[in-house]
Amino acid sequence: MSTREHWVLTFVCPDRPGIVHAISGAVVDAGGNITESQQYTSEDTGRFFMRLQIEAAISKSDFEKQIEKIVGDYQLEYVLDFVGRPMRTVVLVSKAAHCLNDILFRQRSGQLPIELTKVFSNHSDLNDLAKFYGLEFENLPIESGSDKAKFEAKLRDYIKQEKIELIVLARFMQVLSPEFCKEFEGKIINIHHSFLPGFKGANPYAQAHARGVKLIGATAHFVTEDLDEGPIIEQNVTRVDHAASKQALVQIGQDAESKTLTQAIKWFAEHRVLLDGQRTIIFR
Amino acid sequence: MSTREHWVLTFVCPDRPGIVHAISGAVVDAGGNITESQQYTSEDTGRFFMRLQIEAAISKSDFEKQIEKIVGDYQLEYVLDFVGRPMRTVVLVSKAAHCLNDILFRQRSGQLPIELTKVFSNHSDLNDLAKFYGLEFENLPIESGSDKAKFEAKLRDYIKQEKIELIVLARFMQVLSPEFCKEFEGKIINIHHSFLPGFKGANPYAQAHARGVKLIGATAHFVTEDLDEGPIIEQNVTRVDHAASKQALVQIGQDAESKTLTQAIKWFAEHRVLLDGQRTIIFR
Amino acid sequence: MSTREHWVLTFVCPDRPGIVHAISGAVVDAGGNITESQQYTSEDTGRFFMRLQIEAAISKSDFEKQIEKIVGDYQLEYVLDFVGRPMRTVVLVSKAAHCLNDILFRQRSGQLPIELTKVFSNHSDLNDLAKFYGLEFENLPIESGSDKAKFEAKLRDYIKQEKIELIVLARFMQVLSPEFCKEFEGKIINIHHSFLPGFKGANPYAQAHARGVKLIGATAHFVTEDLDEGPIIEQNVTRVDHAASKQALVQIGQDAESKTLTQAIKWFAEHRVLLDGQRTIIFR
Amino acid sequence: MSTREHWVLTFVCPDRPGIVHAISGAVVDAGGNITESQQYTSEDTGRFFMRLQIEAAISKSDFEKQIEKIVGDYQLEYVLDFVGRPMRTVVLVSKAAHCLNDILFRQRSGQLPIELTKVFSNHSDLNDLAKFYGLEFENLPIESGSDKAKFEAKLRDYIKQEKIELIVLARFMQVLSPEFCKEFEGKIINIHHSFLPGFKGANPYAQAHARGVKLIGATAHFVTEDLDEGPIIEQNVTRVDHAASKQALVQIGQDAESKTLTQAIKWFAEHRVLLDGQRTIIFR
């Protein structure tokens, strides 16, 4: 029993009868047990999405052979991983500490299944915080277009060399180039400090103050070439009133930002986020 | 295609490998398709719970024959019903209108899959409201123990004659006898005007005011012989501050009450509420 | 003691020292007692806003004389009313019943200090609901521009004749003419079924579905000539997930809509909503 | 103008007409301006509570002389302080880091007007975290009654020597002696990991799991001799479902704990928390 493995399997395929039976058959053949299961059929795209957690006594590669037998019949695109395997993650920050602090604290506390090795920043402010948690911190100032190209080049090398699976923009405040966004599409998560699609672009809190909204929000989304338009992963809001100044909105909003970003990272690292066109499927 | 039926299947059994495969096999044999699926294994009791929605071209009784084949092997206790079939429901009220109004409005709007035929009350205040929605209203005053016995007798007859499946206490304010509670256990839903287990018993708002709590709550629960101790189905809270008087707490709390009770009824009527000892499994 | 009156006084003026002392002096001279008090200084406009509730033994007109003495010195614009006086209100609806039902039920329950005499609609669907609550219901179909002009003319006459103070658009679904909006600016409250400024215009739920947002909202706002741009009074959101279809979003959103609109009406009728340019001050 | 001071004034007295006028008169005499003002009359105790922020050009001690003139007439008990003056605070912890981390991070970010000099703990686990933020950390193991007496003696000396104004129990997990609680009544804030008064005592999460509640809560309260019965300052809840294990409830609850405790500290340090018997008045 001590040698049983615990996997997470996600897949997507065109919807048709028999898929669940075929998959559960592979699990039975592996002497396995389904410990968690969620599914969704998209009315928009006619695709079927599933996420399973499976405990079994055979090896992962043997189970993959079982899965491969049905891949063709059902046009499955699947991912098989170990439950809880820490996802290799790099974080990009600027000056604001609240999101990075939340990520590092929760990772250390065992709440986030990610492996962090390095923080990149265009400023040096968060060097001490990263160091306290034992992380390398690389400060690459961005003052010009060529600075940004250098930043992205260094980051790209690091991602490839270290087999990074997730790039987190924790209030990075810089717009990445379309080429970079495209290259790592589906792997970059950003936190935007508004309830998108309201208040896109810069200074969302100033916009929110001017418009007199009664709730301040934050949106964690995948980064795509279209700024602030990538698929939304999670959103939260906090109630504010007329007495909140622009500065107060910034402070109030920060809690929503860290909470929302950390939640999105957790779901992503647990393979709970699947893409259905512009929309995300979140299997909590 | 137009003759395809849509069923909801819920079951509970001891946890063991192969259940999902066996059930999905029955679905495949029925030419069916699983449109919704949720499962849960209880660490407390070692039992496996599942809820499925299935579309298929055969009749319900033919599908039941498929299910019966695996009932023995897996010790399944199951319920099979049509998705959306209105559950036969009776409502008990006293003087407060807010819960009844919410139930009636939502039932009429098509949001609650229940069939309401009658309202019982120990007061006459809500007669007009029931009539507006075309319901019979029976007023049976309860001033004494024998009155209550008569009330319960009439209600019991009605429940049996009309094959009532759900009894809703929408701020009924009377304690039903242990015998009645036992006889219809798992079929009576009550709304308690506090965040149980805090403030059990009478006057929860006065207790909440005295204690100075910052959130006012409501709890929808199954009624058992132990007053205010039955399994909890749903809870909600609303923020209050020191300025709220006892009377204000009552008004503020009423929104939480109707919302919570209506939600519990909806889940119950959609076969989304299963029992695991004292706890409920809610498959949303 | 039985003859003491209870007033609500709101005013706005340029911010400068001594205002509170001057006002509280008028209260002392009236032998009055301040039972509720809120104030706010706008950094944006440099204006001072205050709302007081005052109990006193003199008549309202005598107290007004006291106030008039300081109006000039402080450039006060003020409103003095009786606490709890029902505000004369007309409601405009189309086909959807949820907002109207919530308003009528709460008004009847004593939660909304408004006096309702009539419902105007371009459809006849809600006639029975209005009648149940004893209200006149006028059905004026709007199929053309001239129909709308007639609708507005009838409504304008009614508002003037009946001294209507508040016009509520409870999912009215028609755009009022700029002239009408301007004439009754600050007196028309609309419920928009999205979290403005996201998803302006028609079909916000379809937009929300397409964009994959994780929270569905509603916004109560004053109607101005600029569609969906008037000052926001209240907003609420409800969490949704990927499984919610466009139709489901509509149903889920309706609770936020009625709750938000009713809250805005209550605050307005209690003189708790003041305007600071495009923003509202809400003295809860 | 650059020499103007900004004060916060709180007071309580028996309710009677003229108080606001008398106080605002003192402000006018000081050439001051009221920048924030809140009041509350308790129906339970007949007492009047007020909190003001005042900007003025005279010195604090001169203003105090103005206030002293009316203290007798109105039986005022008042506190006058500078807005934003950091309150001298000591934190007691055990092993859990989440509350301490949140307090330290927010204090450092300028969100909490407190001055932290030292952390006391019966364990050494959080030594590094305290050191990272430049705080002294004193580890005094508590294995016996005499250990606890020593702990309290050292703490008492420190509090007196350092003029500590606030003692925070950030998941301290030890019960302080009745004498200590009494000596510092109104100055000790504890975070209890449940929505009090539900689940008093030890293991609230286990109790919550067994009872199957749908919302997990946290309560920040003043510590009194009656365990878990002191006046409540703030409460928050988080939604959970049946799938949450006891361990998961602990993790989920921790966010509510840090958020609630930090909020209570902030309000206390800003003189926003007043006591009305067993209830707190919170002037946000």
ipTM of the complex: 0.93
Specify whether D73 is located in the same domain as D97.
no
Specify whether D20 is located in the same domain as D91.
no
Choose the final residue of a domain: C82, C116, C132.
C82
b/e sequence A208-218, b meaning 16+ C-beta within 10 Å: bbebbbbbbbb
Specify whether D78 is located in the same domain as D92.
no
Q: Look at D25 and C28 and tell me if their CB atoms are within 8 Å.
A: no
Q: Which of B190, B199, B189 is nearest to B237 (CA)?
A: B199
Please report residues of C whose CB lies closer than 8 A to that of A259: none
- Mean pLDDT along residues C156-183: 97
Q: Which of C242, C162, C233 is nearest to C192 (CA)?
A: C233
Choose the final residue of a domain: C82, C106, C128.
C82
Q: Strand (E) positions, chain C?
A: 5-14, 33-41, 47-56, 77-82, 87-93, 114-121, 136-139, 166-169, 188-192, 215-222, 232-239, 273-276, 279-282
pLDDT beyond 90 at C200: no
> Looking at residue A1, what is its pLDDT?
42
> Looking at residue B192, what is its pLDDT?
95
β-strand C87-93 against C166-169: which pairing, if any?
parallel
> Looking at residue D201, what is its pLDDT?
83
What's the domain range around D20?
5-82
Specify whether B102 is located in the same domain as B68.
no
Rounded CA-CA distance A213/C217 in Å is 12
Q: How many CA atoms lie within 13 A of A43 on its CB side?
A: 11
Cβ–Cβ contacts within 10 Å for residue C132, how many? 16
Specify whether A181 is located in the same domain as A248.
yes
Which of A1, A13, A34 would best serve as a mutation to test chain B binding (most B beta carbons within 10 A)? A34
Specify whether A253 is located in the same domain as A122.
yes
Which of D23, D24, D39, D47 would best serve as a mutation to test chain C binding (most C beta carbons within 10 A)? D24
Q: What is the pLDDT of residues C19-66, one digit of tens each?
A: 999 999 999 999 999 999 999 999 999 999 999 999 998 999 999 999
Total domains in the fold of chain A: 2
Q: What is the pLDDT of residues A126-185, one digit of tens each?
A: 999 999 999 999 999 999 999 999 999 999 999 999 999 999 999 999 999 999 999 999
Specify whether B139 is located in the same domain as B91.
yes
Specify whether D174 is located in the same domain as D206.
yes
**Mean pLDDT, chain B, whole residue set:** 95
Please report residues of D whose CB lies closer than 8 A to that of C54: none
Two tokens at A181? Answer: 């966004």
Two tokens at D147? Answer: 């250990």
Position A47 confidence tier, pLDDT thresholds 50, 70, 90: very high
Rounded CA-CA distance A88/D254 in Å is 25
Which of the following is catalytic: D62, D102, D128, D228?
D228
Distance from CA of A120 to the nearest CA of C (A): 30
Rounded CA-CA distance A145/D275 in Å is 58
Q: Look at D215 and B237 and tell me if their CB atoms are within 8 Å.
A: yes
3-state SS of B152-181? HHHHHHHHHHCCCCEEEECCCCCCCCHHHH
Position B3 confidence tier, pLDDT thresholds 50, 70, 90: confident
Q: How many CA atoms lie within 13 A of C255 on its CB side?
A: 19
Contact in structure between A264 and A270 (CB atoms under 8 Å):
no
Percent of chain B, pLDDT > 90? 89
> Looking at residue B1, what is its pLDDT?
43
Specify whether A231 is located in the same domain as A98.
yes
Specify whether A117 is located in the same domain as A208.
yes
Contact in structure between B114 and B91 (CB atoms under 8 Å):
no
Specify whether B38 is located in the same domain as B105.
no
Cβ–Cβ contacts within 10 Å for residue B84, how many? 11
Specify whether D186 is located in the same domain as D104.
yes
In the complex, which subunits touch B with 3 or more CB pairs below 8 angstroms? A, C, D
Choose the final residue of a domain: C82, C98, C122.
C82
Cβ–Cβ contacts within 10 Å for residue B225, how many? 14
- Mean pLDDT along residues B68-81: 96
Burial of C168: CB neighbours in 10 Å, binned 0-12, 13-18, 19+: buried
Q: Which of A65, A71, A67, A52 is nearest to A6 (CA)?
A: A52
> Looking at residue C1, what is its pLDDT?
42
Rounded CA-CA distance C262/A25 in Å is 54
Rounded CA-CA distance B23/D129 in Å is 52
Of C97, C132, C259, the CB nearest to B132: C132
> Looking at residue C272, what is its pLDDT?
98
Position C197 confidence tier, pLDDT thresholds 50, 70, 90: confident
In the complex, which subunits touch C with 3 or more CB pairs below 8 angstroms? A, B, D
Q: Among A228-232, B93-97, B267-271, where is mean pLDDT lowest?
A: A228-232
> Looking at residue C26, what is its pLDDT?
95
Position C68 confidence tier, pLDDT thresholds 50, 70, 90: very high
Q: Which of D104, D276, D260, D244 is nearest to D192 (CA)?
A: D260
Q: Which of B216, C279, C191 is nearest to A214 (CA)?
A: C279
> Looking at residue D1, what is its pLDDT?
43
Domain of A68, CATH number, reads 3.30.70.260
Taking 70 as the pLDDT cut, the residues of chain D under it are: 1-2
Domain of B166, CATH number, reads 3.40.50.170
> Looking at residue A249, what is its pLDDT?
92
Rounded CA-CA distance D124/D128 in Å is 9
> Looking at residue C147, what is its pLDDT?
97
**Mean pLDDT, chain C, whole residue set:** 95
Residues facing residue A56 across a β-bridge: A5
Rounded CA-CA distance B78/B271 in Å is 11
Position C228 confidence tier, pLDDT thresholds 50, 70, 90: confident
Q: Which residue of B has its CA nearest to D43?
A: B245
Q: Which of D267, D230, D220, D250 is nearest to B215 (CA)?
A: D220
Query: Strand, coil or helix: what is A152?
Result: helix
> Looking at residue A257, what is its pLDDT?
97
